[in-house]
């Protein structure tokens, strides 16, 4: 099978999303892109992460042509492929329906730097304009809001993260969800004091080498 290692990792991190309570059921999707072959491996639509087998992973070109697999790809495949087409620093993408990040996304607000760990994604995490799931409009909105960032909130929907590996994309999802929870809880009892641009610029330098999974 093509992209065998990617298939195994997609299954591994899909299950990790469920185990970590970062998504439920079939909510969310994951993909890996190989720039050399220009092929994307992506999880299939509508199958529980614990039921996905290696042969269920869909291998496709970025134009939508399925190269290997008899399952339908995730309905959000366009939201993945646009990142691979327009950013050369991203070769792995995870979309999840995390609780606290989605709460902030229902407010259609950006997630500010109330905690320094948000630096894994950027100085903040923007919220993309709303569009119907699976639509080209949502893919474009997500791409625009994630420029110069490694994560984006999807209005009334969830979160998307992209970077050079599934390990790091998963880490970004975890940390942004933690930051969203801290921000949510702080707003429940008062007005959070957010870190300023100068401090987040320091964090950007520190995080060039902090906690990176190769």
Mapping DSSP to helix (H, G, I), strand (E, B) and coil, where does residue 81 land?
helix
Residue 185 to residue 169: CA distance in whole angstroms: 24
Residue 76 annotated among the catalytic residues of the structure:
yes
Residue 85: CB atoms within 10 A of its CB come to: 15
Read off the tokens for 192: 């959070």
Residue 128 makes CB contacts below 8 A (sequence gap 6+) with 138, 141, 142, 144, 145, 146, 152, 153, 154, 155
Token pair 């087998």 is at which residue?
53
Question: Of residues 9, 36, 51, 76, which has the active-site annotation?
Answer: 76
Q: Do the beta carbons of residue 36 and residue 111 sit within 8 Å?
A: no
Q: Which residues are catalytic?
A: 76
């Amino acid at each position: 099978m093509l992209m065998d290692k990617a298939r195994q990792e997609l299954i591994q991190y899909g299950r990790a999303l469920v185990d970590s309570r970062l998504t439920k059921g079939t909510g969310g999707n994951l993909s890996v892109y190989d720039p050399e072959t220009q092929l994307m491996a992506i999880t299939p639509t509508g199958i529980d992460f614990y039921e996905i087998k290696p042969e269920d992973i869909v291998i496709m070109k970025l134009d939508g042509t399925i190269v290997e697999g008899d399952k339908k790809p995730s309905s959000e495949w366009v939201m993945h492929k646009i990142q691979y087409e327009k950013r050369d620093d991203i070769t792995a993408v995870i979309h999840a329906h995390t609780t606290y990040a989605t709460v902030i996304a229902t407010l259609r607000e950006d997630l500010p730097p109330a905690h320094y760990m948000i630096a894994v994604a950027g100085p903040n995490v923007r919220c993309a304009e709303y569009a119907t799931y699976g639509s080209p409009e949502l893919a474009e909105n997500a791409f625009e809001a994630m420029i110069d960032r490694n994560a984006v909130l999807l209005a009334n929907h969830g979160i998307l993260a992209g970077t050079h590996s599934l390990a790091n994309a998963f880490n970004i999802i975890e940390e942004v969800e933690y930051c969203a929870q801290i921000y949510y809880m702080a707003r429940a009892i008062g007005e959070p004091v957010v870190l300023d641009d100068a401090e987040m610029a320091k964090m950007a330098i520190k995080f060039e080498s902090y906690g990176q999974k190769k």
